[in-house]
A and B are shown apart, each in its own frame.
Chain A
Amino acid sequence: MTDNWVEVAKVADIPPLLARVVKTKHGDIALFHAGDGQIYALDNKCPHQGGPLSEGIVHDCRVACPLHNWVIDLKTGEATGPDEGKTRTYEVKVEDGRVFLKL
């Protein structure tokens, strides 16, 4: 299989500690500009009841889902604490301020 890297945004499009959404035909992917300065990409769907993670409050490398406050680890897509569940993550690379997703 060949790597399929797609350019989706500029880092500057995603303000620190906020997120933007990439629409795809398989559903939305959320791009987070996390507390460590890195960009992470996850399905825009909370493992709990599908809440839009892109609208949550981002802290460090985590996001708190806006619907019921589950906290999702941006690196692994896994729910933290007592909650269990996992959101799909995507590989991201940044070159010259341009963000690529591996799809």
Chain B
Amino acid sequence: MSRERLVVIGNGMAGVRAVEEVLKADEQRYAITIIGDEPYENYNRILLSPVLAGENTIEDIILNSAEWYAENGIELIKGVAATRIDRVRREVELADGRRVAYDKLIIATGSKPFMLPVPGNDLDGVIGFRDIADVETMLEAARKYDKAVVIGGGLLGLEAANGLMKNGMDVTVVHLMETLMERQLDATAGEMLRKSLEERGMTFVMPAKTTELLGDDKGRVRAVKLEDGREIEADLVVMAAGIVPNVQLAKEAGIHCERGIVVNDYLMTFDPRIHAVGECVQHRGVCYGLVAPLYEQARVLANHLAGSGWMAYEGSVTSTKLKVTGIDLFSAGDFLGGPETEEIVMQDARGGIYKKLVLRDDRLVGAVLYGDTMDGTWYFQLIKDGTDISDIRGKLLFGQAHLGDSGHGEEAAVANLPDEAEICGCNGVCKGEIVAAIKEQGLFTLEDVRAHTKASASCGSCTGLVEALLAHTLGGDYSATPSEKPMCGCTDHTHDQVRAAIVENGLKSIAEVMRFMEWKTPNGCASCRPALNYYLLCAWPGEYVDDRASRFINERAHGNIQKDGTYSVVPRMFGGVTTPDELRAIADVAEKYNAREVKVTGGQRIDLFGITKEDLPKIWADLAKAGMVSGHAYGKALRTVKTCVGSQWCRFGTQDSTGLGIRLEQLTWGSWMPHKFKMGVSGCPRNCAEATIKDFGVVCVDSGYELHVGGNGGIKVRVTDLIAKVETEEEVLGWAGAFIQLYRETAHYLERTAPWIERKGLSWVKEQLEDEQRRKELFERFRHSQKFAQHDPWSELAEKDDPIFRPVAELA
């Protein structure tokens, strides 16, 4: 069968991204041709500004090399414009007379600079700022002439002005409005920006209207004439007064256009064979001029072209960052606000810092930051997610670092780090490498960075830092990973969609989920399979049979794999309490199986290191004989319940914290979770068991028990939130079980309680648990699942004597 022919007009950022997404979704389906009138491969238009400023070269910003087109079997017709779309014969006509037939057509022609309709706008030396040719013209002019005028004080105009100034020109910006970047900034921030640009030597004439461009006798521009009669000398005029979607081809072909080419939520035009994507498009009345929304469009479009057809594009919230080195400026969403919004403002004129947050109904809807843009990404995420911020309102303005988190300060930290600072400790990747990869290879997403540099591809603990680096390096075009991102490259579905589908459609095996949800890979990957295995286990306790091939080795072998391929073994010590008999048994196995080290862990129990795989079943059998079970020290499961001595011994103890810890551990051990889960019980507020950095912590007081949740003592320290105060041990157990079940049912795989609570909101968690009926139901579901979980995996495996732990053959 011959492939369908997919033709793309426009070899720019949106068109090529759409092709990349199509290839990702279905490599085989189409024979692809891309037509572009620029004589280059696809490059990163955004980075033209740094190229002009001398911070990047053209080679740096090429996104897709000639080899990329060749390797993917794409025919690139470059340097030739498409001149007509023949919808009847389904052919595209080119300027050189060729005709290219299509089955499906994507129009991705972008936009062109808006040239003010004033006399003289066609003189030599009058240009827009859109492509490599424009940059070359500007650099050439900077070598020959002195004076430049930029018309337009928006993002593009200021970046052009900055670049020309860096090339030694005298630059005047003529702007129609009272303040700079009025579409991205409020008046205060606009004024601060103007001041600091003036300090760098830029001249502003505003508000001012251009009425004419005056030329010399050779037909080259010599001055700009304003409405008030003033004339400003200019050897070069850059028009940056807006962009106009390139709709001509579509219009002439009879496709419905307004300001842009009108498309539906599937990026389809009025002709079902013709789609459009990028700046040339008008979707629900909006034309976008930034990259992030175009990439979202490209993904949806590809989903339809690949025949899946369930995604819809619903519009985007955008954010901007000015790419002028040394000026930190960020804005997003509805930053002007209106009658029904409130504002939180911080202004430090001397320190050059201004922050404004716009709120509506306890949600953040817009933000303007000047001088300190550290938290831009975080605010943008809150805006896009529509997170209820009532819990953190008081701290919102001070940024993410003040959310009870004394760990990594994310972007705050990365901005100030030297290039050689190690970001990914697992793979030894430094800041400099990541930044270089982002710039040179045009990376936009966390997945891209992972694939190219390995940073954050292992334990993932540096994910936040890498995202911060992306945000810091790319500015506005970085769309922070939405929390609604697909599970992994094997699917476009999110964690929540998959979990819902499993329950609603009664999917009972990994294969069934993959079939039903149209997985793109035959059997997933090391990232989605363990997640699916957990989701199924959680949804169908007692029914779903664990798939060990989808478990990470630690959980498969019930031991922690060490760097030399041996394992460590940790028997459970309920509540951190042990007996001489247990200790004797541990000492015996340590000797018998040559444990190379015996160590007391940070979780109040004992770790035996250097056990070979073949010995694992035997050591477990021995420990089981002494009455011990696995400590799950390897698993996404209930780990430890740390206790202090409490009222049994301690002169300050108010309750039996040790006994309560043991009961908690007896109730919950064996439970599989989205991530590891730790508890602590302290006998008084001195808190010797560190209960307030545990996933679930109990602090005993005279009148009862304070229950704390969402703590984390790991990579990013987070102190717990108090969720309830109760009077009896029974109530503590009830709350603990219900909390765990809520977490088990709604967290994403590998999401610990701390980020889960921040994502869902403490109020939401409280609401679920305070309702007694609901709490009881959750607890019952937890108890039910525990019936099948509390079998010691060690003795089970030891009994089965599974040959998988032994070599299949030994050759002499």
Contact = CB atoms under 8 A, between A and B. Distances in A.
A15 B427 CA distance: 31
A67 B563 contact: yes
Given A69-B457, A82-B454, A25 B812 contact: yes
B36 interface: no
Contact of A57 (B451, B549, B808): B549
A20 B803 CA distance: 9
B804 interface: yes
Given A15-B549, A82-B453, A57 B529 contact: yes
Interface string B532-554: 00000000000000001111111
A69 to B, nearest CB: 5
A14 interface: yes
A11 B775 CA distance: 49
Interface stretch (B307-315, B520-528, B683-691): B520-528
A57 B563 contact: no
Contact of A59 (B525, B554, B811, B812): B525
A94 interface: no
Contacts of B338: none
Given A68-B458, A82-B454, A59 B810 contact: no
B610 to A, nearest CB: 15
B808 A60 contact: no
A49 B526 CA distance: 19
B533 to A, nearest CB: 10
Contacts of B715: none
A18 B552 CA distance: 11
B522 A13 contact: no
B522 A18 contact: no
Q: How large is the interface on A (under 10, 10 to 19, 20 to 34, 35 or more residues)?
A: 35 or more
A73 interface: no
A9 B553 contact: no
A38 to B, nearest CB: 13
Contact of A55 (B522, B557, B808): B557
Contacts of A66: 552-554, 561
A20 B807 contact: yes
A36 B521 CA distance: 12
A42 interface: no
Given A15-B804, A57-B549, 15 more contacts: A9-B809, A14-B808, A17-B549, A20-B804, A20-B808, A23-B809, A23-B811, A25-B812, A52-B561, A55-B557, A55-B565, A57-B529, A59-B522, A69-B458, A82-B452
B809 A22 contact: yes
Name the residue among A36, A60, A64, A69 with the largest chain B CB count within 10 angstroms.
A69
A102 to B, nearest CB: 13
Nearest to A80: B451
B565 A51 contact: yes
A60 B563 contact: no
B125 to A, nearest CB: 45
A17 B808 contact: no
Contacts of A18: 548-549, 804
A49 B563 CA distance: 9
A81 B447 CA distance: 12
Contacts of B457: 69
A9 B806 CA distance: 12
Interface in B105-121: none
Contacts of A83: 454
A97 interface: no
A55 B564 CA distance: 12
A75 B457 CA distance: 23
B524 A24 contact: no
Interface string A1-27: 000001011000111111011111100
